[in-house]
Amino acid sequence: MALSKLAGFELSGSVIVHPANTQDNSNLEEFSETEKEQLIHHTGIKFRKIVEANTQIIDYFEHGINHLLDQLKWDVSEIDVLICVTQNIQTSIPSLSCKLHGELNFSQNTLCFDINSGCSGFVYGVHNAMSILQSLMKQHAKAILCCGDFSSQLINQNDKSTIPVFSDAISVTGLTSNQNELASFFNLETDGSGRKAIYVENQFMHLNGIDVFNYSLKLVPNHLKALLNFAEIENLAQEVFVFHQANKLINDALVKRLSLNPEKVPSTLYEYGNTASASIPLSLGIFSRSEPISKVVLCGFGVGFSLASAVVHLSPNFSFSIVEL
């Protein structure tokens, strides 16, 4: 168990960038009508966002950062930390964050690095960003956290287990100090025995749905209970829980197992599918449009097998937007 606590930081706002191109699981040629109905019903996924084959993920992150800076009225020179969480294989040397630093003229004082993480990546990124911001001992320190993958570029078009699930989107989130020194709580864990549940081999992603289900149901409930106990949260029905959007079968089972209030657990699976590390900021942002949120429980789980949950605070002025390219 890796529990930790950081005081004084909040999420200021998020931007999601996704392609306009949308694929409908009702139109999948490889599946029979019955299979398609079952698939949409049980995975909860009808639509997926899919980029063109040669689209570069760095272009999406650039759009997202520029949009977020305008949205939050931040200047690029103010940014202390820039982190990219991605498992995209297009660009690993140099890191995406260093490339973005150069393209967008960040300050030399801006600390940059990438994190290789998927489903749990947003929470790992928030933890890293807040830890560094705290260490700076600086008022109004600011971080930008970029998350996401173009998973469609890793899909074998003959693989019926991955085609209907994964979707392309990225998120860009701003973090800064909050006035009330409110504490954030984290639980970051790994069970490497589950490393074969989702993996890339010979350029293609492989998904073992049964093992992902088993690891999720075995590990996530106790993982989350440890976090909630640490954060002294008892009344679960009142809390907003934003889970990684794996599929409806897993997420519904977790809600039931933890006795959560389904109305406080947003899902974006139907419209967006599984958008890897962008799925938590996407679901959080959309939910924040319908209900003001000051505090939220986040939970990412998947490829690794990696688990990351957090209790974090949102700025009273938290802003969210979606950009379609």
Cβ count near 48 (within 10 Å) = 26
Q: Which stretch binds another protein (CB under 8 A): 59-67, 76-84, 97-105, 202-210?
A: 202-210
DSSP state at residue 307? E
Residue 166 DSSP symbol = B
> What does the DSSP 8-state code read for residue 274?
B
CB-wise, 208 or 315, nearer to another protein?
208
Contacts of 249 (CB under 8 A, 6+ apart): 42, 43, 44, 213
Among residues 22, 131, 214, 315, the one that binds another protein under rule CB under 8 A = 214
Among 9-17, 31-39, 45-53, 295-303, the segment contacting another protein (CB under 8 A) = 31-39
Phi-psi domain of 92 (left: phi exceeds 0; alpha: psi -120 through 50; beta: other): alpha
Q: Closer to another protein at the Cβ: 28 or 293?
A: 28
For position 218 contacting another protein by CB under 8 A, the verdict is yes
For another protein, which is the closer residue by CB, 207 or 231?
A: 207
Q: Which of 20, 27, 33, 34 binds another protein (CB under 8 A)?
A: 34
Query: Where does this chain touch another protein (CB under 8 A) — which range of 9-17, 142-150, 209-217, 232-240?
Result: 209-217
Instruction: Give the residue among 216, 125, 111, 130 at the shortest CA–CA distance from 171.
Output: 125
- Identity of the residue numbered 267: S
Q: Binding to another protein (CB under 8 A): which residues in 241-280?
A: 249, 253
Count CB atoms within 10 A of the CB of residue 225.
14
For 38, residues 6+ apart whose C-beta sits below 8 A from its C-beta are none
Which range of residues in 61-69, 107-115, 212-220, 226-234 is near another protein by CB under 8 A? Answer: 212-220
Q: Of 59, 78, 191, 211, which one interacts with another protein (CB under 8 A)?
A: 211
List contacts with another protein (CB under 8 A): 34-35, 38-39, 42-43, 160-161, 208-211, 213-214, 217-218, 249, 253
